[in-house]
Amino acid sequence: MEIPRRKLGARGPEVSAIGLGCMRMSFGQKPLPDKKEMIALIRKAVELGINFFDTAEVYGPYTNEELVGEALEPFKGQVVIATKFGFEMYPDGRPGWVGLNSKPEHIRRAVEGSLKRLRVEAIDVYYQHRVDPNVPIEVVAETVKELIREGKVKHFGLCEASAQTIRRAHAVCPVSVVQYEYSMWWRKPEEEIIPTCEELGIGFVAYSPLGKGFLTGTIDESAKFDEVDIRSRIPRFTPENIKKNLVLVELLKKIAARKGATPGQIALAWLLAKKPWIVPIPGTTRLDHLLENVGAVFVELTREELQEIDNVLSEIKIWGERYPEDLERMTYL
């Protein structure tokens, strides 16, 4: 069966109903996966019908864009690549960043680097990775508008911006796509962001749709995370909070057993059922997980099942913050 396509809002590209987040293929874990194996995995995703791939210049930095660019070069014109700008990297190339930087001259330098690494003539979706409080969003939007006019960018996107910021940016340069963390255990976008997207015709991309692995049912309170793994710093992943949050996994397991699916597939199917212009981008470095995620597209939840899930979710308290404080400060600006 072929993966169905979805239009990302009124102006966004048409993409496979599920995408592939590529970050962890070259960033955020130790040891890093073998580059040749990751290129093969990305190409397998294309073979399976995925045509939407997510990266960013800060992943590595730079090495993830290089990986994605090399892997997808044979499929020019057949795939949609999204990348991001907005961080000032260390000059010596070490992981991490100095701070946020969305000044026009920095965006222009960033786009040239991304085009070269991705081996493309134009970036399909170009997100501001995080809102820079020191640069008015109107200035950022005007800069991206110029890049679109110059043919270097096709669609303007925002990540983790507030609804007010989306509106201000959209008034200058139409926002085609936004990206936020969204899953059964982080539903904040439902408050203002998704209604704003619906009103303005903006597509929504959900990152961490499996709760950074938690919603797959493979993590319990005995889990250990390497120091380079972001989960080692996330309050939600302390042993005591994992133990409390397992009640959500039990719900997923119960419905999965009924549907002949996995907990992760139910979590993704729930997201896909929310709106026809929402596309999750689960990340993986394993073929078995890629196949499992693709299978979620074909799991149909009835209206009654969705209501059952939402009723239970409304009664479940999620323990622990979703990010360490320094990262959370960069969101919803």
CATH label of the domain that carries residue 96: 3.20.20.100
Binned at pLDDT 50, 70 and 90, residue 30 comes out as confident
- The whole-number pLDDT of residue 1 equals 82
Residue 94 is predicted with a pLDDT of 87
What are the angstrom distances between the C-alpha of 27 and each of 34, 39, 152, 320? 12, 15, 26, 24
Residue 226 domain flag: no
Residue 310 located in a structural domain: no
Distance CA 266, CA 280 (A): 13
In a domain? residue 177: yes
Look at the pTM and tell me if it is higher than 0.85: yes
Is residue 48 in some structural domain?
A: yes
pLDDT of 216 reads 97
On whether residue 170 sits in a domain, the answer given is yes
Taking the CB of residue 148, how many other CB atoms lie within 10 A of it?
A: 19
Contacts of 148 (CB under 8 A, 6+ apart): 154, 155, 156, 173
Number of domains forming the structure of the chain: 1
Closest CA to 55 of 135, 137, 124: 124
Decide if 326 is inside a domain: no
327 occurs within a structural domain: no
Measured CA to CA, the distance from residue 276 to residue 147 in angstroms comes to 29
In a domain, 309, yes or no: no
Is position 59 annotated as part of the catalytic site?
yes
What pLDDT, in 10s, does the model give residues 46-105?
Answer: 999 999 999 999 999 999 999 999 999 999 999 999 999 999 999 988 888 999 999 999
Distance between CA atoms of residues 200 and 176, nearest Å: 9
* Given 59, 62, 127, 182, the catalytic residue: 59
Share of the chain above pLDDT 70, in %: 100
Q: What are the residues facing 84 on neighbouring strands?
A: 127
| Integer Cα distance of 76 and 66 in angstroms | 15
Tell me which residue range forms the domain holding 23. Answer: 5-212+272-300
pLDDT in tens, 151-208: 999 999 999 999 999 999 999 999 999 999 999 999 999 999 999 999 999 999 999 9
